[in-house]
Amino acid sequence: MSSPSDIAAWQEPALTSSGVPNAKLGIWLFLASEVMLFSTLFTSYVVLRLGAASWPRGWVALNVPLAMVNTIVLITSSVTMVLAYAKVIEKDLSGFRKYMMATIGLAFLFLIFKSFEYGSHFTHHEYPSTSIFHAVYFTMTGLHCIHVIGGIIVNTGLLFMANEQFDHPLFAGRVEGAGLYWHFVDIVWIFLFPCIYLI
Amino acid sequence: MVKKNNHAAAAHDSHSHAHHELTFWQKYVFSLDHKIIGLQYLITSLIFLLIGFTFMMVMRWSLAFPGTPLPVLGRLFPADLAPNGVISGEFYNSLGAMHGTIMVFLGVVPLGVGAFGNYVLPLQIGAPDMAFPRMNMASYWTYLPGGLLMLASFVLPGGAAQSGWTSYPPLSIINPGQTVWLVGMVLLITSSLMGSINFIVTTLNLRAPGMSLMRMPLFVWSELVTSVLLLLAFPPLEAAAIMQFMDRVFHTSFYIPQGLVVLGMLHKASGGGQPLLWQHLFWFLAHPEVYVLLLPPMGIVMEIIANNTRKPPHGYKTVVASMCGIGAMSFVVWAHHMFVSGMSATLSNFFLVTTMIISVPSVAILTCMVFSLKGGSIRFNVPMLWALAFLPMFGIGGLTGLPLGLTATDIYLHDTYYVIGHFHYVVVTGSIVAMIGGVYYWFPKWYGRKMNDTLGYLHFWGTLACMNGVFFPMFIQGLAGQNRRYYDPTAHLHNLPTQPLHVVSSVSAWCLFLFQLPFIYNFFHSMFAGEKTEENPWKATTLEWACPSPPPHGNFEKTPRVYRGPYEYSLPGAKTDWAPQHVEAV
Amino acid sequence: MANEHPHRVAAAHGHPPPNVKLYIAIFGALIFLTILTVVVSWWHLPPAGAIAVALLIASFKASLVLAFFMHLKGEHKLIIAFLGIMLFTCIGFFLIPLDQHLLRDRTTHTEVKEEGGAPELPQAEPAKPQEAK
């Protein structure tokens, strides 16, 4: 008798009607919705900037060197994430742990640098309410940070899960899924950095 | 197409046949079974529909008899909401904003998608459950708190939202009550996103062997397209809501223009924002949202018509293509809600054209429904009456939409009662009528018992008459220039000639409520004491009728195999006039 | 399956063998492009040029991440088809700024002339939510 626990079996690509495992299809659908979320904010930024009489230049109003370092930090964490996934496929637990901890550590570093950035703004009495430029800056980078925090939580969860379930046939799929999310977070920043800081 | 993988089966042996007793909480409250979750959505959404309806019944007193105290209830409301029992303007606006919010986001969509979709979709494709049962459970348990928060807003500081369900800034930034609405919306959007991911993956991945996409019932197609709309259209509203939240709580100016003057004083904000931005982003969701309101009920009507004409419906492929076409076009028509907003004329022309184009697939589906009746052996049971009523009612609703989609006429009709008449015809006499029919149709599957037919006929005729009594006069009032969202229409001289029509609408609305009482009684009484029914009382061909009523955990004893299309009624050479999808030899 | 190579087992479950050298190469490309985009910004190009170059470089970086880190290159066509549907729905995101652009000559800003000028309006606090009565 088929039961919902058999649903897990459907994770196998061969058992799904489409050939794509459930979780992978699910994550891509989620990412599509997230693209819509961030695209709305980018669109709003364009609209507000087009309608503004003047707009401060990023290199004047913001800390570009720190943001560039942050960009490199996040890109590196994306690489360590895909290497962690590679280690799962190679069944190398200690390698997986090393690269996953690096990913999480780099994500924390990103947030630490971000907190320096925000702190510096607050010290100069620059808040979201100060101007429409600051509203856009804080809201877009803030929402991105929330997504970084989400990624840290998921990746930390996988790190602990590996203690018991590293050999589970579905574990590689879970790391792959988390990786897809993490690369998406990286891609958002790849666009956010030039659009907010450099143009 | 689905191959058995022994390795995978062996790996899950420890889980599959363990029959562990579930606690009450696991079985009925935090259930992972799509059928229980579907029933949770059903009862909750029906209650929310009733609550939203109650708000409207209070509002209709103010419209019919402005300035007079509300009988009985008037004294129960606090003095600031209804001084001397007379409904105040602010209270009317709160009721209006929450009526719209509750009906759309807590009522119709959870009913059409959460209730019908959750229960029926996995059964119709031969699946044991949804692809992600835990996320399904989480989706309901995010919807309910979101809904309760919306209701709670009436008693929280600031009161309920009172800027319309459309929440246009700057009013929505400076008005009270809006912040709770925004938080509630984020919860509801999260619930919806979880649900839509589940539906799409389930439909694409968990179909029984032999169930190709073009053998799926039209109801499943409607839920698939609806889920894609929800997935892609809701996030922009979430982003817009985040910006409105920032404006209210952190005093940003995403939507506050420079130099805004409120009550004679310069509003203190940095300025630089644009109210029109909200309108674009809100309607970017809200237009696909109306097709979310419409498509599952259209799917339900096709199911009922096919079953009760005992023949395949006309134009299966046309309907599928039209549903997909509606889904695609719905993303490029939104600004027909904004023709008078100050938007550029060039863009108005663009949206005028796309809006005219999108009416084509809608008409195509309605035409296929009507042609499906031709040559059929029509059974006039209760579900079929509701499905038949949908046809002319949606016809009226759809046709009255045309002057609104054409810019020139919309400039006159915008924000008049004509608009209210139009969208209530499509959603109430259209979608809700179809879904009530769906309740009568699938009730035997959900509870193993039939609903009472006499009460069903009474409910049908009374409801149909009263619904038309409420909404038809609105077209006349709208053409006469009666404005929307006025708690006292008599404040303007030009509304006086059509004021009697408000009395007609209000009395019809209160009678409409009375005609729902037999339905409520019928529903709950039949659940426990209705005539017991077998697996397939309607003699239907689709897979949900190939399992016991109600289906057990896991639905099918063994995974069905599908041999033919979903509507092989009156198949030449078959022994009966219905050839079920899963039976090889008929 | 116990004696099978981990890569073959993973491939059976839909996980192709990883190409670590490629990942490092992409990493190098991404770092280079990041530095490039910052250097170009120092040139203070006119707005149209600055935007075009920045977006071009960012799009190229994103496509590298999509194609190789997210394995979109060689991915099942259902996923690529769905992303295509998503891109179609993004048409609206170009129409909204277009509206703003088309409205640019219709300003609601009134010029304040030297004599007379706008009346001094008292500043208001941002509206607080009303307290429950």
Give the residue extent of every domain in chain B: 32-546
| From B233-247, B528-542, C113-127, the region with the lowest mean pLDDT | C113-127
Tokens of B376: 């059929």
CA B134 to chain centre: 24
Q: How much is the pLDDT for C125?
A: 58
With H, G, I as helix, E, B as strand and everything else as coil, classify residue B127.
coil
Instruction: Kindly tell me the burial class for residue B328, based on how many C-beta atoms sit within 10 Å of its own C-beta (0-12, 13-18, 19 or more).
Output: middle
Q: Are residues C53 and C84 in the same domain?
A: no
- In the block, tokens 């590298």 appear at C64
Across the interface, whether the CB atoms of A89 and C96 are under 8 A apart is answered no
Check the CA dihedral B289-B290-B296-B297 and report its sign. Answer: positive
Q: Are residues C22 and C83 in the same domain?
A: no
More confident call, B5 vs C8: C8
Distant-in-sequence, close-in-space partners of B342: CB < 8 Å, separation ≥ 6: B276, C103
B482-486 average pLDDT score: 94
Q: Are residues C7 and C49 in the same domain?
A: yes
Domain assignment present for C120: no
Domain assignment present for C96: yes
How many Cα atoms are found within 13 Å in the side-chain-facing hemisphere of B83?
A: 5
**Nearest CA among B231, B172, B179 for reference residue B201:** B231
Domain count, chain C: 2
Across the interface, whether the CB atoms of A30 and B193 are under 8 A apart is answered yes
Domain assignment present for A124: yes
Domain count, chain A: 1
Superfamily of domain B32-546: Cytochrome c oxidase-like, subunit I domain (1.20.210.10)
Across the interface, whether the CB atoms of C99 and B328 are under 8 A apart is answered no
Domain assignment present for C60: yes
**Nearest CA among B517, B551, B509, B518 for reference residue B61:** B509
CB-closest option in B128, B130, B200 to A29:
B200
Whether C130 contacts chain B with CB within 8 A: yes
State yes or no: pLDDT of B10 exceeds 50: no
Q: How much is the pLDDT for B183?
A: 96
The Cα–Cα gap between B258 and B268 comes to 10
Q: Given its phi and psi angles, is residue A27 left (phi above 0), alpha (psi -120 to 50 degrees) or beta?
A: alpha
The Cα–Cα gap between A131 and B270 comes to 5
The Cα–Cα gap between B478 and B494 comes to 11
| CB C127, CB B174: distance < 8 Å | yes
Q: Are residues C49 and C30 in the same domain?
A: yes
Predicted interface score ipTM higher than 0.90: yes
State yes or no: pLDDT of B158 exceeds 70: yes
User: Before B550, cis peptide (omega within 30)?
Assistant: yes
Whether B191 contacts chain A with CB within 8 A: no
Q: How much is the pLDDT for B1?
A: 38
Across the interface, whether the CB atoms of A20 and C76 are under 8 A apart is answered yes
How many Cβ contacts (< 8 angstroms) between chains A and B? 169
- Chain A positions in Cβ-Cβ contact with residue B1 (cut-off 8 Å): 17
- Chain C positions in Cβ-Cβ contact with residue A26 (cut-off 8 Å): none
| A91-105: pLDDT as tens digits | 999 999 999 999 999
Domain of A60, in residue numbers: 19-198
Domain assignment present for C85: yes
| A11-69: pLDDT as tens digits | 677 778 998 999 999 999 999 999 999 999 999 999 999 988 889 988 899 999 999 99
pTM of the model as a whole:
0.93
With H, G, I as helix, E, B as strand and everything else as coil, classify residue B199.
helix
What confidence category does residue A8 fall into, taking pLDDT thresholds of 50, 70 and 90? low
CATH code for the domain of A84: 1.20.120.80
**Nearest CA among A189, A151, A74 for reference residue C27:** A74
CA B534 to chain centre: 30
CB-closest option in C51, C66, C86 to A199:
C51
- Which stretches does DSSP call E strand in B220-289? 261-262, 265-267
- Chain C positions in Cβ-Cβ contact with residue B258 (cut-off 8 Å): 109
| From B161-165, B305-309, B541-545, C102-106, the region with the lowest mean pLDDT | C102-106
| B444-459: pLDDT as tens digits | 999 999 999 999 999 9
Instruction: Kindly tell me the burial class for residue B564, based on how many C-beta atoms sit within 10 Å of its own C-beta (0-12, 13-18, 19 or more).
Output: middle
Over chain B, what is the mean pLDDT? Answer: 94
CB-closest option in A39, A89, A183 to C70:
A183
Tokens of A72: 């490199």
| B265-276: pLDDT as tens digits | 888 888 899 999
Q: Are residues C23 and C1 in the same domain?
A: yes
CB-closest option in C89, C98, C130 to B347:
C98
| From B19-23, B51-55, B156-160, B380-384, the region with the lowest mean pLDDT | B19-23
**Nearest CA among A92, C129, A35, C33 for reference residue B157:** C129
Chain B residue with minimum CA distance to C82: B228
- Chain B positions in Cβ-Cβ contact with residue C124 (cut-off 8 Å): 262-263, 265-268
A182-192 average pLDDT score: 97
| B175-191: pLDDT as tens digits | 999 999 999 999 999 99
Backbone angles phi, psi at B359, to 5 degrees: -70, -20
Backbone angles phi, psi at B483, to 5 degrees: -80, 155
| A159-169: pLDDT as tens digits | 999 999 898 88
State yes or no: pLDDT of C62 exceeds 80: yes
Interface of A with C in 167-186 (CB under 8 A): 169, 172-173, 176, 179-180, 183-184, 186
Whether C83 contacts chain B with CB within 8 A: no
The Cα–Cα gap between C72 and B436 comes to 44
Q: How much is the pLDDT for B586?
A: 82
Whether A46 contacts chain B with CB within 8 A: no
For an interface test with B, give the residue of A12, A22, A45 to mutate (most B CBs within 10 A). Answer: A22
Q: How much is the pLDDT for A2?
A: 45
Domain of C58, in residue numbers: 1-73
Q: Are residues C93 and C32 in the same domain?
A: no
Q: How much is the pLDDT for C103?
A: 81
| B222-267: pLDDT as tens digits | 999 999 999 999 999 999 999 999 999 999 999 999 989 998 988 8
Q: What single-letter DSSP state applies at residue C103?
A: T
A122-144 average pLDDT score: 96
State yes or no: pLDDT of B417 exceeds 60: yes
